[in-house]
A and B are shown apart, each in its own frame.
Chain A
């Protein structure tokens, strides 16, 4: 977690801190899914409450971005109710929700790594265009 008592954290731009927090929340969800799969495959009875909790935290962390990027407001509201309500949701549904949130995190370039334009380096015209020569 980000240590808010640390002077470095206090001095850092809010966007940078938020980015770290989102990545942490996302990491916890992935870890919860991993644990679920591990126990399930071990033959144990498992529950998806940990995944749901992780998803709820991730959802709240970037609530605004998710709202703006869901194509339909209804879908956003439905996910909000599912994650923040006191109901139980299945593992399958959790994965579907995480999938959608993950796609948005990629779209808003929080988790996207392949930002460098791919070009065919065996075509001299392409390389020179890319390099600006």
Chain B
């Protein structure tokens, strides 16, 4: 097999069994009006986003629109869900990677998913979630029988990615073993339950991969920029105002008067160095004198 191969002989870039299962789940959503979530989990670089894209394409029957149907992180999720509803799209990929280290992100993820399936079920939407470990999904989601298939990725090679798929029934067992205190290596929990089927998937075609990269990195770059601001202890107008005990309006005017230049500008937000606080305090003293 050549490294450039992007399609198997049966016409899909994933094993045929996965195609069959995804179609069955899509039918469940569309015809039986039932909720369904497909969880794709695995470590960094295993191809979660790629496989989610493949699954989305299979379910929809045509390539998904990354700008409308791929949400990077929780913030985009609700916006794109609404967009999908308006445009009559029935597949949405939620790549949780953008939220991975935000405090409270997991609680928010669970809350969001629960809310979505309680209120948006009538929209007939199949949600595909990419996350590092499906164990973060909470009990309520499982009690509501929302996750219908787990695709666990492991051992990606240069030529193809590899996965094991579990039904909800088997997922519950994996989850049970994962919670076992003696299970030091969580990955071992997957080995204790036989998957329903195993399979492989191929990379996206080059042009599509580039498109995906541009959409997914856009979110990640913005996240990285914000992180660099946090790491550099830069301050916004609001934070400066709090530090000097003045209103935000007063702070803006003072900064303007003192002609202090922002250390960083991300999108339209200005960030100032920590020394700005001292300049503002000096300005307050001058005005009081």
- Residues of chain A touching chain B, judged by Cβ–Cβ distance below 8 Å, are 121-128, 131, 133
Residues of A within 8 A of B118 (CB): none
Instruction: Contact check, B172 vs A124: say whether CB atoms are below 8 A apart.
Output: no
Partner of B21 from the list A123, A131, A133 (CB cut-off 8 Å) is: A123
Task: Say what secondary structure dominates the interface of chain A.
Answer: helix
CB neighbours of B28 from chain A (8 A)? 125
List 16 A–B pairs whose Cβ atoms lie within 8 Å, in order of A's numbering: A123-B21, A124-B21, A124-B24, A124-B165, A125-B21, A125-B24, A125-B25, A125-B28, A125-B148, A126-B24, A128-B145, A128-B167, A128-B168, A131-B167, A133-B167, A133-B172
B240 within 8 A of A: no
Q: How many A-B residue pairs have CB under 8 A?
A: 42
B17 is an interface residue with CB less than 8 A from chain A = yes
Chain B residues near A122: list those with CB within 8 A: 17, 21, 196-197
- Which partner residue on chain B sits nearest A122 by CB separation? B197
| Among all A-B residue pairs, the 6 with the closest Cβ atoms | A124-B167, A131-B169, A122-B197, A127-B167, A133-B169, A125-B24
Which of A122, A126, A131 has the most CB atoms of chain B within a 10 A radius of its CB? A122
Within 8 A of A (CB), among B2-38: 17, 20-21, 24-25, 28
Report if A128-B20 is in contact (Cβ < 8 Å); known contacts: A121-B196, A133-B167, A133-B169: no
On chain B, the residues within 8 Å of A123 by CB distance are 20-21, 24, 196
When chains A and B are docked, how far (Å) is the Cα of A125 from the Cα of B26?
Answer: 11
Q: A41 to B145, alpha carbons, bound, how many Å?
A: 61
The chain A residue with its CB closest to the CB of B17 is A122
In residues 142-186 of chain B, which contact A (Cβ within 8 Å)?
A: 145, 148-149, 165-170, 172
Alpha-carbon distance between A122 and B168 when the two chains are bound, in angstroms? 12
- Contact check, B145 vs A133: say whether CB atoms are below 8 A apart: yes
